[in-house]
Amino acid sequence: MIRKKPILMVVIIVVIIVLAFFAVQLIKKYTPTNERADLTQVFGLDDNVNDSEIAAIVDEALVEENSAVYDGNVYINLTTIQNNINDKFYWDANENVLIFTTPTDVIKVATGSKDYYVNKNKNSMEYTIVKAEGSKVYVAAEFVKKFSGIEYTLFSDPGRVNITSTWGEITVADVKKNKQIRVKGGIKSPIIADVKKGDTLIILEQMDDWTKVCAEGGYIGYIQNRYLSDVRTQERVSDFEEPVYSSIRKEGRVNLVWHQVNNTTANGYLTDMTAGTKGINVVSPTWFALSDGDGNISSLAQKSYVDRAHQLGYEVWALIADFSDADTAGNYVSQVLPYTSKREKLVNKIISYAIEYDLDGINVDFEKVALENGRDYLQFLRELSIKCRNNNIILSIDNYVPSPWTEYYDIGQQGQIADYVVIMAYDEYAGSSAEAGPVASIGFVNKAITDSLAMMDSSKIILGIPFYTRVWKESGDEVTSNSYDMKTIDSIVANNGLTATWLDDMGLNYCEYESEGATYRIWIEDEKSIELKLKSMMDNNLAGAAFWKLGMETPEIWDVVIKYIN
């Protein structure tokens, strides 16, 4: 019995030790850590090599690019401005000039200057407006605020600027008791900041147990849901007034035809080519094109054409293309648009011609713009729109159908600055396609309309409709095509004894035939297919239609057009 007591004691001690061990582990598991996060790392400043650089938080999100402080003034990285605040700030890296456009003015600032120009009028600030540090460009926050209505606060330890650029409803909540915001949702995650009872936090994302929040000072992290109360929406307001882009509107729908003009002799055919048409109220002759890398343009314009068009009751919206031939187009665009002096020259020449020839409008058809020149193209359009607006000239812009690979054309912004945006709802299968297919099936057209309406008001959209059809030839693995006018297509169908079949899903008549070992396929654009497209135009209350091109239609088409335009 005596021997059993030491054994029992040992067992008890072991049990106590084990229980203590598990108790300690349990306490550790459920006790929040007091470890504090390294805020320089949290705000992305750990690799900072410039003492002037600070972090930037825009609308409760830490941005990748650092901003800076010079002489006590906050400067925002230009990339941050363009991507997160206002993309109308444009930087010309070739001529070292910052440009901002309003509906009526061009504001320009040279690097390192305290002066800025509104058109030709000089103004001055008490600070340097634009600073360049190597490849980085910074703009004074006060200058950005002047034209964008941002609010910002500078904080230290570590240096950071908290910027608000988006206004409207936000979700907020109050803190129930003194607690901490952590890097991640978990009590073992390091602490970013302390918050006090009664502090108001902005709610970014609510989860089951934790909520992502932003506290004063731009601290973004997580807090447990049980420490939040009175979740509610709050209106964030600004007294900044956004400039209004006015637009010139035609009464009723636009019925535009492009008139392809390859020489001045063709200008004399306007009367003959429009004879028998119905409902046309705008003609767009293909008169102008970029002609070199300095901003000059070629012209086939004649005042007699404009006078005759006006006599016939047509407005003239002369077209300017970015190419006179496909080989030089891309080169000229990349040589002209990234340079402010060349863009100004180009814009002034366009407006000069418009005034000289009494044009009612300009139709921009730049189809060779590369991704790297997307911002330059938009800046060209902004600057052209100002001159058009100030001279009462209608500005319309031709565009491919919306797609991921043409997103940089930014038709949403075009819809803001232009009077009309023409969606060229054709070339579903382009002539260079490796696969045969229609020029414009109704599904393709309807998707183009829907996608465009997601980016601008219907009153801005003109639907581009084809008067041509492609005949596809499949010979072995080789696929080629040729484009023909409607009358020629009728002859091809008749001469080959073909009977077309209506395809409901395509909204097109279709036929095919074999000849000399090759298969020929034709998706036909005719009165029936054109009427379907016009019906979609009307059902979606679009601004009108534009047809490529005058002379490729059959006379019967105009009886269809007139039903939907007037």
pLDDT digits (tens, 9 = 90+) for 69-91: 999 999 999 999 999 999 999 99
| Same domain, yes or no: 407 and 323 | yes
What is the pTM (predicted TM-score) of this model? 0.92
| Same domain, yes or no: 311 and 454 | yes
Q: How far apart are CA 118 and CA 77, in angstroms?
A: 22
| Same domain, yes or no: 117 and 215 | no
HSE of 385, CA atoms in CB hemisphere, 13 A: 25
Name the residue among 390, 417, 382 with its Cα closest to residue 89. 382
pLDDT over 70 at 1, yes or no: no
Q: Give phi and psi for 101, each to the nearest 5.
A: -115, 140
| Same domain, yes or no: 183 and 264 | no
Supply the CATH number for residue 208's domain.
2.30.30.40
Mean pLDDT of the chain: 95
Contact assessment for residue 198 and residue 192, using Cβ atoms and an 8 Å cutoff: no
What is the per-residue pLDDT for 112?
A: 98
Is 11 a member of any domain?
no
What is the per-residue pLDDT for 54?
A: 96
Name the residue among 226, 222, 159 with its Cα closest to residue 192. 222
Q: How confident is the model at residue 16 (pLDDT cuts 50, 70, 90)?
A: confident
Is 23 a member of any domain?
no
pLDDT digits (tens, 9 = 90+) for 200-221: 999 999 999 999 999 999 999 9
Is 520 a member of any domain?
no
Name the residue among 515, 542, 510 with its Cα closest to residue 525. 510
| Same domain, yes or no: 157 and 84 | yes
Number of domains composing the chain: 3
What average pLDDT does this structure show over 435-456? 99
pLDDT digits (tens, 9 = 90+) for 452-501: 999 999 999 999 999 999 999 999 999 999 999 999 999 999 999 999 99
What is the per-residue pLDDT for 19?
A: 64
What is the per-residue pLDDT for 418?
A: 99
Is 2 a member of any domain?
no
Q: How many C-beta atoms lie closer than 10 Å to residue 472's C-beta?
A: 22
Which residues are bridge partners to 77 per DSSP?
A: 138
| Long-range contacts from 407-414, C-beta under 8 angstroms, 24+ separation | 408/369, 408/371, 408/374, 409/369, 409/374, 409/377, 410/374, 410/378, 411/452, 411/455, 411/456, 412/455, 412/456, 413/87, 413/378, 414/378, 414/381, 414/456
Is 272 a member of any domain?
yes
What is the per-residue pLDDT for 434?
A: 96
Q: How far apart are CA 361 and CA 284, in angstroms?
A: 9
| Same domain, yes or no: 79 and 220 | no
| Same domain, yes or no: 344 and 454 | yes
What is the per-residue pLDDT for 51?
A: 85
| Same domain, yes or no: 306 and 215 | no
Supply the CATH number for residue 123's domain.
3.30.457.10
What is the distance in angstroms between the CA of the first residue and the CA of the last residue of the chain? 115
| Same domain, yes or no: 441 and 360 | yes
The crossing angle, in degrees rounded to 10, of helices 326-336 and 340-356 is 120
| Same domain, yes or no: 133 and 265 | no
pLDDT over 60 at 23, yes or no: no
What is the per-residue pLDDT for 329?
A: 52
| Same domain, yes or no: 388 and 438 | yes
Q: How far apart are CA 156 and CA 153, in angstroms?
A: 10
Residue 444's alpha-carbon distances to 112, 323, 430, 450, 451, in angstroms, are 50, 27, 13, 10, 11
Last residue of a domain, one of 131, 164, 197: 164
What is the per-residue pLDDT for 498?
A: 98
pLDDT digits (tens, 9 = 90+) for 162-193: 999 999 999 999 999 999 999 999 999 999 99
Q: Name the percent of the chain lying above pLDDT 90.
A: 91
Q: Which domain holds residue 445?
A: 254-467+526-565
Q: Give phi and psi for 86, each to the nearest 5.
A: -155, 110
Is 490 a member of any domain?
no
Is 249 a member of any domain?
no
| Same domain, yes or no: 67 and 176 | no
Q: How confident is the model at residue 331 (pLDDT cuts 50, 70, 90)?
A: confident
Is 14 a member of any domain?
no
Residue 371 DSSP one-character state:
G
pLDDT digits (tens, 9 = 90+) for 264-312: 999 999 999 999 999 999 999 999 999 999 999 999 999 999 999 999 9
Q: Name the percent of the chain lying above pLDDT 70.
A: 94
What average pLDDT does this structure show over 32-38? 96
Q: How confident is the model at residue 323 (pLDDT cuts 50, 70, 90)?
A: confident
pLDDT over 80 at 5, yes or no: no
